[in-house]
Structure 1
Amino acid sequence: MVSPSPAPHFPRPAPVESYGKGGFRFAGMSHRGSLLFLPSGIWAWPVTEAEGITAETLAPVIAEADAIGILLIGTGRTRWSLPVELMQLFATHRISAETSQTGQAANTYNILLEEGRRVAAALIAVD
């Protein structure tokens, strides 16, 4: 199982302040690379392209499934559809998952977070 780093970069949810140049800004901090925005905090995510989105790389999301209603998956600058096995995995855990390009996913995450929704995001960094 792929687990996030031993400690979150930030220990609670926070909006995406900006993205691009291979990383993200959040909570006054910056990170190069992809990130998971989970109820437990913001974690590094080793995925660099949509083909790397698997049940294994999404295991940290499933571990927090009880606190997540919606998962937004930012697939970089490419369009990508969830494979059937991932759709089934999310359905089993009662998570509604949506894919879009990273910018759109980050913006939607911010709106839903502000609304107090049970939202998480898996965002691939873009240049």
Structure 2
Amino acid sequence: MAEGIVIRKAHFPGRAPLDAYGNGGFRFADMSHRGSILCLPSGIHGWEPADPDALTLEDFARVLEQAGDIEILLVGTGSDLKPLPPGLGQACRAAGISADPMSTGAAVRTYNVLLAEDRAVAAALVAVE
């Protein structure tokens, strides 16, 4: 019996540079993803923060689960720079992670450079139009 389309959680099981961003998504590894993403040691995951304009510590649970493999967390906050959510800086410092907020465009560029240098980098990137 033929199955219909199967929708799976968005996950690319590897590290890859980001080729493009904008129009509400990202391109990487000859694929595209609509929406926000987490670039982690375990791969690139679709990310759905409850409110992309008001990120919370809970939105970063998956990042903190992989803290032992991350030294730098880039937080792309959209078109404009916004402060880190309350508690995130403290939680990251306690886990040995340096967390840096910046616009999504700056975060993408910085992520690609640090990835090319084989640094222990992760990124939480809010999609921009």
Q: Same fold per TM (> 0.5)?
A: yes
Task: Look up the match of 1:56.
Answer: 58
Structure 1 distance, partners of 2:75, 2:68, is: 18
Return the index of the structure with the highest Cα Rg. 2
Structure 2 distance, partners of 1:82, 1:57, is: 11
Residues 22-42 of structure 1: CA distance to partner in whole angstroms, max 9, x if unpaired? 000010100000000000000
Alignment of 1:1-127 (within 5 A): 9-47=11-49, 49-51=52-54, 53-127=55-129
Helix, strand or coil for the counterpart of 2:58? Answer: coil
Contact 1:34 1:124 in 2 (8 A): yes
Structure 2 distance, partners of 1:8, 1:109, is: 20
Deviation of residue 79 (structure 1)?
1.6
Amino acid at match of 1:114: A
Structure 2 distance, partners of 1:98, 1:20, is: 21
In the alignment, structure 1 segments of 5+ residues that lack a partner are 1-5
Structure 1 distance, partners of 2:39, 2:88, is: 19
Identity value in percent: 51
Structure 2 distance, partners of 1:9, 1:63, is: 16
Deviation of residue 7 (structure 1)?
5.4
**RMSD of aligned residue pairs (Cα, Å):** 1.4
Contact 1:8 1:41 in 2 (8 A): no
Contact 2:78 2:126 in 1 (8 A): yes
Amino acid at match of 1:73: V
Residues 60-80 of structure 1: CA distance to partner in whole angstroms, max 9, x if unpaired? 000000000000000001221
Deviation of residue 82 (structure 1)?
1.6
The number of residue pairs the alignment matches comes to: 121
In the alignment, structure 2 segments of 5+ residues that lack a partner are 1-7
Contact 1:73 1:98 in 2 (8 A): yes
Deviation of residue 8 (structure 1)?
5.2
